[in-house]
Structure 1
């Protein structure tokens, strides 16, 4: 589709001398209009003897660009998740180094405090700085063991959170790739449908040109029939007994009979072509309905992708919150339990699906 809309008109045409015969002849005219993607309109001519049905067709040229834009946005989101994972790894290393430094500083302060508690603030020998009573050594060992256990617990919890984040990230990437494949398949099917619609429109245009040519030939044959009938009436009115005139009259009668057979044959061909045109219009409308269903499928996939992105952002916020609580209060397990008991929820409302367009059938009376 090229973004423009073609409209076809079926015109009910009555000859001047056959207005009371009860037959209808349809002609199709192509043109351009603006409005909805597919609509119909019934219009009467100025003299009130013609009925025109307009059918509007519209393509979708910006779907491919929008789809590529969404794919690029999803790739940037995946890159952002990778950067967040690297930041978490770096933060874990910083926490480990900080805990190691705090442990060394604590041991050094305890040794200095033991030295200051000696009489006069100094020991009697150079090795007294590193010697302490058994009670002090026991207290230091207990503090060191407690700090080590705390560090090990924190590191274990951090590794567990990292593994959970990694598994969620892998699941998200698998789901995202599956949705991308489905979106690409839907886009390819939509492109095929649009190509087929364009081919059908070209065939309809060719049929319209043929119908116009046949209508012109039909009018010319009707004019010849009228001329033959007039000549025959003139010959009969002259009451000529000439054999030549009789032969001419017989010849004219034969020509009139042949012309009538041709007119009857052309009428049958016109009816057949009109049926083909109506079938082509119905096929075009069905193709439009298929395209709309594909658009609805693509919209649902986009909504699922947005929902997964929201869940990923919420998970990232939870990780940051848990790490901050872990560093500030050292109560990671309590906060994690509170987070699991009261998770946030994001609801994305689904827009109403587009209504199917009515099917228009042109019936000859």
Structure 2
């Protein structure tokens, strides 16, 4: 394995407050959210009835008709997101050797909606009414597989499953493959499980908000924090070896993927604290960076008091009290599970590009946390280095450092 520099050259975004990169970024800077009442099914009988849903997405406008009956909504969004990321990077897959391109994504739940529909057909009509596509459409790795097939990408590929942390872990695995010699990897995540089966599974976490007001339901680091609002979407990124990007004349280089670390929390009741701080410190060390170089932290923002406290303590211990601006633009979208952190990485790239930090909307910082939380409106800032945090249910922690490439 060499020390090749991995850079981000393309971004494809599908978010509840913006379908496409620039629509999403405009909404994020305007503080415009995409959280509202669930419309994809009747949620009136459920304790939680708000979600971040993507409006205006018609898969048939973007994909061949043959793909529609064999893919879940999350996969349709992922295929389109990958198309957009490749277009943004100026890459035509057919013009590159097929083994020079890989696909590494993350997944939280797989194709829940597709699976639910086929189970309904099984129990209501019988086995012969179950689609043969059920054999793979529900599977965690299906997004990687379908993106690979669509674009003829036969290089190292795979999937990472570590809940919300998985999106960052997938980017890190892509970086490893680039260091091993694969010039281009499409990576990131898209999740979409706003359906009754998915809803019940998410509710079982005990971390879902019961709030009915979209502006008060998801309030990380707030005294009234009471859980998060689920959402759908995410981001896919084109990661590329820096020399390859330079040689082909890449349209742009958004940032370098400079450092990563993943840790796992001790078991509950052990008396030991979260390992998130260690993930942050190790990610900075991997990037050969020090805390003073970080210009913004994109927080995991669980909106569960105990988890918020642990994250605030980790940030404060590394950077000092109010030592670095902190933001959580996912308050506009809901938590997109494995798609959330890649969307934060894409947002960090845009912050670097445009010199602005998007806000954490609706939350009012609790006096219990000594954070410099960017609230209500964007903050102009020179962003050279950003830290993105993500944590998954069960103890997963992940941290990624992105920055302006060092010459």
Higher Rg = 1
TM-score (normalised: structure 1): 0.21
**Going by fraction, where is helix more abundant, 1 or 2?**
1
